[in-house]
Structure 1
Amino acid sequence: MKIFPAIDIKDGKCVRLIKGDFKNKTEYEMSPIEQAKKYKNYGFKNLHVVDLDGALQGETVNIDIIQNIVSNYDLKVEIGGGIRNLNSIEEYINVGAEKVILGSAAIKDKNFLKEACEKFPNKIALGLDTKDGYLSVSGWKENSNQLALDFLNEVNDYGVSRLIYTDINKDGMKQSPNFDETSKVAAKSNCPVIISGGVSSIDDIKKAKGLKNIEGIIVGKAIYDGDIKLDELIKEDA
């Protein structure tokens, strides 16, 4: 089970949102680069980064921060947020990102997802963000009329290398992930799945380890708020 500590970047700072609401955010003292260093010092190998500025603007806003993290701390970074074209994917890969997460742009244009997977094999992660089973797009401001499982059926053979499943209703709430829905997605997915949204305790990590086709789990707010201690969390990282 890979543990992915999360860094969400807004205006150059680490922030956490509640259910993806930009009006309901908490800013933290530590810069993203300092936070990445802290995770590295504890022994974590993977990092989940969301460029919230990028998600709002539809372009790579904080690529210099990603480059700084990768070059200084040798962390395997998956990065998402506002990635809308092949050039942006290439920019992130060129600065050393391990995986580039496509969300809204892939859901709105399946051909873009397919082309990205073909051009950048083993580099594309698909982010499925859902409310009540339906996909949300554009920084979670728009609900689509498409069920996540139906969309996955359509793109399952495109060559996505990782799937990140987030239940928005759980995100930032620290009420445990939606294990039932995630298990359904993992059972259908041709690639391994990362659990995201709502992790509240080490027990959540241990429960995730018992699920099939789960590669890892993202932990965000519970770290920042001190509910999960990093020295305990690193013991679950493999």
Structure 2
Amino acid sequence: MKIFPAIDIKDKKCVRLVKGDFDNKTEYELSPVEQASKYKDHGFKNLHIVDLDGALEGETTNLDIIQDIVSKFDLKIEIGGGVRNFESIQKYIDAGVEKVILGSAAIKDKNFLKEACQKFPNKIALGLDAKDGYLSISGWKENSNQLTLDYLKDVNGYGVSRIIYTDINRDGMKQSPNFEETSKIAEKSNCPIIISGGVSSMDDVKKAKTLKNIEGIIVGKAIYDGDIKLQELVKEDA
């Protein structure tokens, strides 16, 4: 199973939000590039990056930071946050990222997702962010009124290369991921799932390894707060 340490970028800094709330954020001392270097030094191979400025603005706001991280460290990066057109996807792929995550734009317009998968084969990841079974969009500020499983059924044949499934109620709360709901998604999905939101301990990571159709797990706040030690976590990274 792949371990994805997380970097969320806001105003050029590493931050963590609680349940996606921009007013409830913690800033950390290390810059995103320094944080990526730390992960690389510990031996991680993958990295999950969210451009929170991009999510708010709908632009590749921190492209320079992403280019810097890609060029300095041999890490497989998935990046999301405000990717709303083919031009943004192309910019990230040109920068050398492994996967571009589509979220709100793909949920609002399924054809955009379908065309993106055709144009950029094996490069598109789908971010499904759910609250009480329904998908949320626009930086989690809006409920889409679409049931996650219904939406997945509609897009399952499009050629998405991975799904990042986040339970918003758990994100930043360190209360363990919603394994039950994640398993339902994994069972129905044609592509592998990355678990996100609420990882609080090594037990969560070990439990994720026992589930079917799970490609990896994203660990964020628990690293920054020192609940999970990087040297222990990297042992689970395969």
TM class, shorter-length: over 0.9
Task: Spell out structure 1 runs of 4+ moving beyond 4 A.
Answer: none
Q: Which amino acid aligns with 2:127?
A: G
C-alpha separation between the residues in 2 aligned to 1:150 and 1:228?
35
Post-superposition offset of 1:43: 0.2
Post-superposition offset of 1:144: 1.1
- State the identity as a percent: 82
C-alpha separation between the residues in 2 aligned to 1:65 and 1:147?
35
1:24 corresponds in structure 2 to 24
1:223 corresponds in structure 2 to 223
C-alpha separation between the residues in 2 aligned to 1:160 and 1:169?
25
Q: Which amino acid aligns with 2:149?
A: L
2:98 corresponds in structure 1 to 98
Post-superposition offset of 1:156: 0.2
Q: Deviations over 1:191-218 (max 9, x none)?
A: 0000000000000000000000000000
Give me the TM-score of the superposition, normalised by structure 1: 1.00
Q: Which amino acid aligns with 1:19?
A: K
Q: Which amino acid aligns with 1:169?
A: N
C-alpha separation between the residues in 2 aligned to 1:69 and 1:213?
29
C-alpha separation between the residues in 1 aligned to 2:74 and 2:109?
33
C-alpha separation between the residues in 1 aligned to 2:155 and 2:180?
21
2:144 corresponds in structure 1 to 144
C-alpha separation between the residues in 1 aligned to 2:40 and 2:85?
30
Give me the TM-score of the superposition, normalised by structure 2: 1.00
1:44 corresponds in structure 2 to 44
C-alpha separation between the residues in 2 aligned to 1:59 and 1:113?
17
Q: Which amino acid aligns with 2:131?
A: K
Tell whether 2:212 aligns with 1:212.
yes
C-alpha separation between the residues in 2 aligned to 1:232 and 1:97?
26
2:71 corresponds in structure 1 to 71
2:11 corresponds in structure 1 to 11
1:134 corresponds in structure 2 to 134
SS at match of 2:82: coil
The alignment yields a C-alpha RMSD, in angstroms, of 0.3
1:175 corresponds in structure 2 to 175
Post-superposition offset of 1:234: 0.4
Tell whether 2:118 aligns with 1:82.
no
1:202 corresponds in structure 2 to 202
Q: Which amino acid aligns with 1:77?
A: I
C-alpha separation between the residues in 2 aligned to 1:236 and 1:76?
17
1:121 corresponds in structure 2 to 121
Tell whether 2:160 aligns with 1:160.
yes
Matched length: 238
Q: Deviations over 1:96-134 (max 9, x none)?
A: 010000000000000000000000000000000000010
C-alpha separation between the residues in 1 aligned to 2:220 and 2:37?
16
C-alpha separation between the residues in 1 aligned to 2:142 and 2:59?
18
